Chain A
Amino acid sequence: MRDAFGTDGCVLVLGATSDIAAATVRELAASGTRAMTLTARQTADLAPLVDELSEQGVTCRTIELDVAATATVGPTLDDLFADVDYDLVLCAIGVLDDDERHLEDSDAAYSTITGTFAGPALAVLAAARGLRSQGHGTLATITSVAAIRPRAGVALYGGAKAGLDFLARGLRPTLREHGVRVLVIRPGFVHTRMTEGLSPAPLSTDPESVARDIVRSLRRSRTVVWTPRLLRPMFAVLRLLPSPVWNRLAAR
């Protein structure tokens, strides 16, 4: 249960090997979270993070979850919720690939669809089900600014993230009635392993700053977090640009 200071005592992080997720987990530990369940495709990859958290007195549990195996997603999350209450579920699952490959290789396109939309969407739905029956908690989903306006080169990734963004926001009114809060996180260009080798967009940021923004917004009544924050007014304008201008701006 959340305590009087709004600290989430028990947290579930889906896709905890991502750089943003790992940074957020560290930030949560520093803010007073005492128990965490972390999922990854291979739990062995979480070992260093778990060691670090255990040293800080956080009780960790790791679970193998590959959302590409879509049939496992629901049951795995249902089992987790049968054991404990989660004050926060953070979905940080997603894969980034290049449209050039998607155009040539439909298997690659399919993995982007399952890895960034279908899989995470099933996880978000399962988490929503668990949180709804608990009657409390926050469902936080990491989407992207790429979900706001289509852009050459990351069209499929952006489309998948847009789907996830839509799903999360669409669940909000229903979950709210059950005491559950929905938070959508839209990071801009973040320097991580996922974006390695790509040329950074303006206002690029690092996982630690994103993590700070996420944890800070948990204690506030935000519904959408843009990180860095300046992206919000920026996109308010960019959204209105005529397509030819936007496409020229967005082209690298």
Chain B
Amino acid sequence: MARPSEPLVAGWGRTPRSRPRARHRLEPGLDADFTQVGRRGLTVRGLGRSYGDAAQNAGGTVLDLHSPSDAAWYDETNGVALLDGGLSLESLHAWTLPQGWFAPVVPGTCHVTMGGAFAADVHGKNHHHDGSFAEHVDWIELESPVRGVVRLNPGDDLFWATAGGMGLTGIIRRLALSLRRVETAYLRVTTNRMASLDEVLDGLVAADQHATYSVAWLDLFGTGRGLGRGILNTAEHAELADLSRRQTRAPLDYSPGLRLALPDVVPSGLLMPTMMRAFNTLWWRRAPHDDQSVESATSFFHPLDAITNWNRLYGRRGFLQHQFVIPSTEVGLLRHIIERLANSGTAGFLAVLKRFGPASRGHLSFPGEGWTLAVDFPAKPGLAGLLDEIDDLIAGVGGRIYLAKDSRLDPKHVPTMYPRLEAWRELRRGVDPEGLLTSDLNRRLGLTGPRGRSPRIAPRQP
């Protein structure tokens, strides 16, 4: 079996990588060939921004969908764009923003494909106001082993099995996305430094009513009354009148800004607790008490994109992000978890708190009414017990973990956290009964169900 081996494939967190047997690109417009898929199945990969193992496939095929393909208007007057599944959010904005159209939901990076955004049913800082990505999609074209390419709209169950379905129901080839009209490419941002967790929570609740975008950054290194202190950001799309004279010259100019690249030589221990503490303290102190500013869309939505490979900061051992959602009423639990994290000594470097509005209809869609906290951690084995403990608490109140970020969840929690899993499996079986669509994430968590035949095998006689 001599053949050149494919390089390892990793998620954004660079934690366990795996080696596919074959990796190739799916060109826009060409049908996928499911007959060539071997026993280890097929995984669709966009820009690889899932933190865990959602877009890797050990021993199987990885199909790259990202392409700098064209996009076109489906309905220009209403701002409905017809986009290839492999088109990145960055390319979308480079095309639509000068015409005054902005993506309805924008995640923390512009390096996501449209297919990936739909498959993870991503959310943005406006979830409490506008919901998740899939809720702004008029229809998708899904290519599956059984049905080939079919157009699905929000009236179809399969549409919602695919929203948040982590690419396991088919390949999202094209979609029609309703964009938002904007006057400028800028945002009017209000920054508020808050001295305690209570203030942050109250601020976020209040922002539900008055702000389109809201998010809070928490300092998990604070102690005593400063525990959970943070910075609350709220924002609105800026109007022409808000801009400075320089900005008014090109109000819809899309500029990704300066990009720094980080070499892959950072030692795993660089982000030591002391350093993270110092950074967090400094960050909190330099934030103003109540300040208005006008920022470009890039700097407000994608600050981390300024460093191309910021995931390398954590060194070769990699990192992970733990993001959960719990119902609004569970403020006590939220506080307990934040205290638990802060007192554990393994506090995360970056902690982001947000409020979600009502859930979309996606079977495995992550966002749902309540609080969501996302924390980045270096991947150290000592953390496993703490996160398992937190997961038990979350599962107990009907909360869940974001699959697109996960790289360590105990599989026993999946049916509890995603109670519509069975219905989703049923729909999935209809389009892929042989289980050709899979991923390392699917194998680790058993999303599509056990692959086993008989539970017990008697040894064969010679």
Seen from chain A, the residues whose Cβ lies within 8 Å of a Cβ on chain B are 1-7, 9, 31-32, 34, 57, 61, 63-66, 69-72, 75-76, 79-80, 82-85, 132-136, 177-179, 219
Q: Please give the distance in Å from B79's CB to the nearest CB on chain A.
A: 39
Chain A neighbourhood of B5, CB < 8 A: 177-179
Residue of B whose beta carbon sits closest to that of A66: B459
Task: For A80, list chain B residues within 8 Å (CB).
Answer: 457
Contact of A83 among B388, B412, B452 (CB under 8 A): B452
B336 within 8 A of A: no
Residue contact B58 to A134, C-beta cutoff 8 Å:
yes
Our pick among B18, B450, B460 for the contact of A75 (Cβ within 8 Å) is B460
Nearest residue (CB) in A for B409 is A3
Check A32–B459 contact: CB distance below 8 A: no
For the complex, give the distance between the alpha carbons of A80 and B452 in Å. 9
Task: Give a binary string over B413-448; 1 marks a CB under 8 Å from any A CB, 0 the rest.
Answer: 000000000000000000000000000110110000
Q: Is the CB of A3 within 8 A of B444?
A: yes
| Distance between A237 CB and nearest chain B CB, rounded to angstroms | 34
Between-chain CB contacts (< 8 Å), 26 pairs: A3-B16, A3-B408, A4-B16, A4-B318, A7-B384, A31-B381, A34-B410, A34-B411, A63-B459, A64-B459, A70-B462, A72-B461, A75-B459, A75-B460, A83-B451, A84-B450, A85-B58, A85-B443, A133-B39, A135-B21, A135-B40, A135-B59, A177-B5, A178-B5, A179-B8, A179-B19
Distance of A216 Cα from B388 Cα, bound (Å)? 21
Instruction: Kindly state the separation between the CA atoms of A61 and B461 in the bound complex, as whole angstroms.
Output: 20
Q: How many residues of B contact A (CB 8 A)?
A: 46
Q: Using Cβ atoms and an 8 Å threshold, which residues of chain B touch A71?
A: 460, 462
In the complex formed, the residue of A with least CB distance to B318 is: A4
Task: Report chain B residues within 8 Å CB of A61.
Answer: 455-456
For residue B15, CB closer than 8 A to chain A, the reply is yes
Cα distance A1–B16 in the bound complex, in angstroms:
9
> Any chain A CB within 8 A of the CB of B458?
yes
- Asked if B453 is at the interface (CB within 8 A of a chain A CB), the reply is yes
Name the one of A5, A9, A85, A135 contacting B383, with C-beta atoms under 8 angstroms.
A5
For A84, the chain B residues whose CB sits under 8 A away are 450-452
Chain A residues with CB under 8 Å of B8's CB are: 179
Is B151 on the interface with A (CB-CB < 8 A)? no
Interface residue from A32, A83, A85 paired with B384 (Cβ < 8 Å): A32
What number of A-B contacts does a CB cutoff of 8 Å give? 111
Among A9, A135, A219, residue most surrounded by chain B Cβ atoms (within 10 Å): A135
Please, how many angstroms separate the alpha-carbon atoms of A80 and B460 in the complex? Answer: 12
User: Are B59 and A63 touching (Cβ within 8 A)?
Assistant: no
Given contacts A5-B379, A135-B59, list 5 more A-B pairs with CB under 8 A.
A32-B388, A72-B460, A76-B457, A136-B59, A179-B8
Chain A residue at smallest Cβ distance from B458: A64
CA–CA, A72 and B462, complex, Å: 6
Contact A4 B18 (CB under 8 A): no
A32 to B387 CA separation, bound complex (whole angstroms): 12
Q: Which of A2, A63, A70 has the most CB of B within 10 A?
A: A2
Q: How far is the CA of A84 from the CA of B444 in the complex (A)?
A: 10
Nearest CB on A from B96, distance (A): 36
The 8 A CB mask of B47-79 against A (1 = contact, 0 = none) is 000001100011110000000000000000000
Query: How many Å lie between the Cα of A31 and that of B320 in the bound state?
Result: 18
Candidates A65, A69, A132; contact of B462 at CB < 8 Å? A69
> How many angstroms from the CA of A233 to the CA of B138 in the assembled complex?
68
The reply to whether B444 and A4 contact each other, CB–CB distance below 8 Å, is no
Q: Which 9 A-B pairs have the closest CB atoms?
A: A135-B59, A179-B19, A71-B462, A4-B15, A1-B444, A4-B407, A136-B58, A135-B58, A83-B452
**B444: A residues at CB distance < 8 A:** 1, 3, 9
Of A3, A32, A76, A177, most buried by chain B (CB within 10 Å of CB) is: A3
Instruction: Determine the distance from Cα of A176 to Cα of B16 in the docked complex, in whole angstroms.
Output: 15
Q: How far is the CB of A209 from chain B (nearest CB, A)?
A: 19
Residues on A with beta carbons closer than 8 Å to the beta carbon of B39: 133
Contact A76 B13 (CB under 8 A): no
**Considering only CB atoms, which chain A residue lies closest to B38 in the complex?**
A133
Complex contacts, B453 vs chain A, CB 8 Å: 82-83
Is B40 in contact with A1, judged by CB distance below 8 angstroms? no
